[in-house]
Amino acid sequence: MVPPRMDWRRIAYHTLVSRALDDVEETTNRNRAHVPKDHLVLYQFSARGHDMAQAILGSFIDHPHDAAGAYYRSRPLLLSLGLEIEDALGSPLGRAGGFSDGRDIGVVCNLPTRQGPKVLPMSGDVGSQYTPVAGWAQSIQYHRDVLGDASWRGAMAVALGGDGSVATNGFWSALTMATTLKLPVLFYIEDNNLGISVRGEMQTPGANIARNLASFGNLFIRDGDGTDPAQAASLIKACVDHVRAGEGPALVRLTVPRLSSHSGPDNQKGYRTDEEIAEDFKRDPLPRLRDFLVPAHLGITEWEALEREVARDVAAGLEGARARPAPDPVTILRHRYAEADAPDDQALGGLTAAERRALGGTTEPSEGGEMVRFQEAIRRTLRRELEVNPRLVVFGEDVGVKGGVHLVTEGLQKQFGPGRVFDTSLSEEGIIGRASGMAIAGLVPVAEIQFRKYADPATEQLNNTGTMRWRTANRFCAPMVVRMPGGFGKDVGDPWHSLSAEVLWAHAIGWQLAIPSNAADAVGLLRAAMRSPNPTIFFEHRSLLMTSDGSAHYPGDDYIVPLGVGATLREGTELTLVSWGAMVHRCADALAMTDVSVEFIDLRSIAPWDKARVLDSVKKTGRCLIVHEDTKTAGFGAEIGAVLAQEAFWHLDAPVERLCVDDVPMPYHPVLLDAVLPSPAQIAARIDALVRM
């Protein structure tokens, strides 16, 4: 049965436009020697065969708070949601403007529509679109039920993916979230039975994900032919109606042909027979759409007029796209982070600048605060921000009823409810991807990864979050805080729970990284992170969580420590000592063992880091010792040493020294742990030796 009130002319227009764009790009990609260099499409993906069903899907995505997460073969959907033809062609040509300003692959699109459906920033990796979509869907529930915003009622999130993507971590994590939480998500799976060259039988048993998921609870499933206009429309509508009615998630699988190679550089004849390719062309949905519409819905003259309209529009779009200049290389370093001189709130995501300012804050600690341990300081700060910012949410594995494995979130769910402080399924990909979608939807996620090592499965989502503002040319951002305990524990270590490896996040473009050494700094840095327009890794050292070493006077409910500002804990003239995290306390103990006049700096954050403070100190003392827990090779101490060698070389009276863990995993037994960690005695001895040089 064909759904009523379908705008078939609009569907046909976008299908024809998509097909025409593919025609242009397939004949002007970089494999075509005859094409002028400035007309070359640098990297090309065709949606040929997937186009009609996506245009139908787009006609159902019409709520102001709908959002879609898509992938590199999803341009027909974007066209149906408002992507301009000139942008659709300009970006594959690598031209200025558009959805990435020449920074990303041309069909890795986004659409930050303010008053209508959005398309979340795509990524070039497979399957990473799913968990941010689940995060957006959970945000729909949050805006509607917790914040009481009725305008979000009936909204849905849509995740588009191919049959290859259903084998990924992201798909299964998002599916788990959607079904356990009954999220308003539509999974749209277009199955062409190929993942580049790998057949569907290798992606999912039996090559039919819909059939395999039949036993899943809370999942409405439809399966059919994506080349049949009436059937595709009927199946999509059934799923959309289910999701919008608040009945939970749905999945529709539509079989479609891939009428092209995987991408421009690919040659499918290396892995497909001519007969197989010919069979796919017999299933081309465009002739079927024409036969369906003419003459029942459109007259032949109207169809021909539509084809001429599409030809004119695509020609005009191509002319405009080719006339655009190349991106300006002077701007390439912009938008890695939020910029003070950028238009206010240009990027979609997080709090507005005005909302952040309204939260206030002071860099002056209050007087007379009681002594608190590191763990309690973090809990108090989370509690205060939950009180003053209704859009802040705290979540992760075990953070709710249990209160976290280190009990940092103990009692917060009881006070603020499971809508704001909640447990998640055990998937770090899901935790961070969910946070990304929530942040784009205007929430402030504070996600916990139980231990630093456990962040490894989430690396893809963490990287995509960090680069989001840059690769969308400041159209999207995802400010969040990721709390990440790590480092050696009290009298114990191991390769899994005691990893620090913080230098990875110093190297992760777009992320800030805070590593407090005491309770007061933890308060100020965590509050700064939760009010920042940039994503932040908040590294909580296990030793400080498990002992009283980091205890300090509580600095107040409004205290902020700006990221990138270190602290000079002691002034001196003979040597500069630089450290961060739990090593600060070992360094402090070492200073009691030496008579050297040491200037002692706690960096507090290493992305950004207080380069000016360290340089000024070393220019005064002439010597520097860097102490950290991360392993020596390519640890962050090497970056500091390189900067000092370049910018303070003529002020140095001795080589810059590093004292850190040798290149070995953190061991379990206390005797072995003591053998690898820098001790106060070793630090003091190295200080004395440096001064004697």
Report the range of poorest mean pLDDT among 257-266, 304-313, 589-598: 257-266
Q: pLDDT, tens digit, for every residue of 200-249?
A: 888 899 999 999 999 998 999 999 999 999 999 999 999 999 999 999 99
* Cis before 608? omega within 30: yes
Amino acid at 284: D
Q: pLDDT, tens digit, for every residue of 106-156?
A: 889 999 998 899 999 999 899 999 999 999 999 999 999 999 999 999 999
pLDDT, residue 367, reads: 87
Q: Is the pLDDT of residue 445 over 90?
A: yes
Q: Is the pLDDT of residue 157 over 70?
A: yes
- Residue in the block written with tokens 């309690």: 376
Quick count: other Cβ atoms within 10 Å of Cβ 128? 24
Report the range of poorest mean pLDDT among 186-195, 335-344, 435-444: 335-344
Q: Is the pLDDT of residue 341 over 80?
A: no
Locate 353 and state its tokens: 């600048």
Mode of pairing for the β-strands spanning 567-570 and 575-579 = unpaired
Quote the CA–CA distance of 23 and 11 in Å, as a whole number: 18
Quote the CA–CA distance of 276 and 263 in Å, as a whole number: 18
pLDDT, residue 598, reads: 98
pLDDT, residue 38, reads: 73
Q: pLDDT, tens digit, for every residue of 11-47?
A: 999 999 999 999 998 888 666 667 777 777 777 889 9
* pTM for the predicted model, two decimal places: 0.95
Q: Compute the chain's Rg from CA coordinates.
A: 28
Dihedral of the alpha carbons of 112, 115, 117, 123, in degrees to the nearest 10: 10
DSSP 623: -
- Confidence band, pLDDT 50/70/90 cuts, at residue 187: very high
Q: pLDDT, tens digit, for every residue of 505-547?
A: 899 999 999 999 999 999 999 999 999 999 999 999 999 999 9
Range 81-94 average pLDDT: 93
Quote the CA–CA distance of 39 and 465 in Å, as a whole number: 32
Quick count: other Cβ atoms within 10 Å of Cβ 417? 12
Range 403-420 average pLDDT: 95
Range 474-493 average pLDDT: 92
- Confidence band, pLDDT 50/70/90 cuts, at residue 355: very high
pLDDT, residue 490, reads: 83
> 4 exposed, middle or buried (CB, 10 Å; 0-12, 13-18, 19+)?
exposed
Q: Is the pLDDT of residue 465 over 90?
A: yes
Range 254-274 average pLDDT: 89
Q: What is the DSSP string of 540-582?
A: EEHHHHHSSTT-EE---TTB---TT--EEEE--SSEEEEE-TT
Average pLDDT of the chain? 94
Better-predicted residue by pLDDT, 217 or 302: 302
> What is the 3-state secondary structure of 479-512?
CCEEEEEECCECCECCCCCCCCCCHHHHCCCCCE
pLDDT, residue 30, reads: 61
Dihedral of the alpha carbons of 21, 27, 31, 35, in degrees to the nearest 10: -110
pLDDT, residue 493, reads: 84
Q: Are 636 and 506 in contact (CB under 8 A)?
A: yes
Q: Is the pLDDT of residue 437 over 70?
A: yes
Quote the CA–CA distance of 488 and 495 in Å, as a whole number: 10
Nearest to 447 by CA among 460, 428, 466: 428
pLDDT, residue 212, reads: 94
Q: In what order do the strands lie in the sheet with 536-541?
A: 421-423, 392-396, 444-448, 481-486, 536-541, 512-514, 605-607
Q: Is the pLDDT of residue 92 over 70?
A: yes
In the three-class reduction of DSSP (H, G, I as helix; E, B as strand; rest coil), residue 682 is classed as helix
Q: Is the pLDDT of residue 256 over 70?
A: yes
Q: Is the pLDDT of residue 361 over 70?
A: yes
Better-predicted residue by pLDDT, 4 or 432: 432
Q: Just list the catalytic residues.
A: 497
Q: Is the pLDDT of residue 2 over 80?
A: no
